[in-house]
Amino acid sequence: MESSEQQNQVQQPQTHLIQLDVEETNEPPIKRPAPKTLGDLTIIFIFETIGTGLFAYGIVASNGSDILIAAYLYAAIFLTCKFTGGHVNPAVSFSFYCDDTISSWTLRIYWTAQLLGAVGGAWIAYLILGVVTSPSIKSTNIEWMLADLCGEAFGTFMFVLFIHIQVHEQTRQTNNDIAGIAWIALALFFSRQLSSHSGGCLNPAMGVGLELFEAFWLNDTTKLANFWVFLFAPLFGAYMASIFYNSIYLPLLKK
């Protein structure tokens, strides 16, 4: 009896140590976005507003040309990438929020600046060109609406996935900034082919901002009926791109 009790006393601490080891190994490290100072947020707000405004002007001035739209995106990213990362797109910012790269507060700063930039770019385009054209879905047929919704979502998925591949060090295709921006602009060119019917830019700021300008400045509210497609489809596509990159793409590369 005494020997069995001694064995139990010896075994109990060993079991407890094993449990501690299991608990420690099962706790993943918590990834938190780097905090931003007020100065950082101010710079993000200013340059994202300017960059998104330039891109919004380009959307109008390009008259639907995919090549020109990609060129204006290149210019907008080149102008802002050193200061803000060159998002100029709420869907891109949302994907980095899902990736735990930026905080929810920083995301709000990005979104506010991008929406203001889109409206401001539309206003400048109206002053210079005398016209503002926004992405629109003219068809009310449910089949076409679903097709446009899927096209915007899948096009944004491809575009944002290309961005994640380029900006993360473990998958970056080139370390040259000029070539990297060209890679992203080229990704937009090809991704836009999936949304040719809706005329979208895979960018909620463009779809919503330009339409808001037309609705309230030009008193044309007809296009607001389907603006939700340009708002929710790119955000969903960006979310799926972030999940795919971190959960599927990276693990496959490690194998």
Whichever domain contains 61, its CATH number is 1.20.1080.10
Flag whether 18 is in a domain: no
The DSSP secondary structure of 107-121, one letter per residue, reads HHHHHHHHHHHHHHH
pLDDT score at 64: 82
pLDDT score at 15: 41
Flag whether 165 is in a domain: yes
Flag whether 117 is in a domain: yes
Predicted TM-score (pTM) of the model is 0.84
Rounded Cα–Cα distance for residues 1 and 5 (Å)? 6
CB 132 within 8 A of CB 58: no
Domain count, the chain: 1
Flag whether 3 is in a domain: no
CB 70 within 8 A of CB 186: yes
pLDDT score at 14: 46
pLDDT score at 26: 52
Flag whether 23 is in a domain: no
Structure tokens at 50: 């300017």
The shares of helix, strand and coil residues in the chain, as percent rounded to the nearest 5, are: 75, 0, 25
Structure tokens at 199: 């005329």
Rounded Cα–Cα distance for residues 157 and 148 (Å)? 14
Flag whether 244 is in a domain: yes
The residue segments making up the domain with residue 45 are 38-254
Flag whether 31 is in a domain: no
Rounded Cα–Cα distance for residues 210 and 32 (Å)? 34
pLDDT score at 133: 79
Task: Determine the 3-state secondary structure of 220 from DSSP.
Answer: coil
Rounded Cα–Cα distance for residues 199 and 164 (Å)? 24
Burial tier of 104 (Cβ tally within 10 Å: 0-12, 13-18, 19+):
exposed
Rounded Cα–Cα distance for residues 158 and 98 (Å)? 16
Flag whether 21 is in a domain: no
pLDDT score at 160: 97
pLDDT in tens, the chain (255 residues): 555 545 555 454 444 433 434 444 454 555 667 678 899 999 999 999 999 999 999 999 998 888 999 999 999 999 999 999 999 999 999 999 999 999 999 999 999 999 999 999 999 999 999 988 777 666 567 767 788 888 899 999 999 999 999 999 899 989 999 999 999 999 999 998 887 666 667 999 998 888 888 888 878 777 777 778 888 999 999 999 999 999 999 998 876
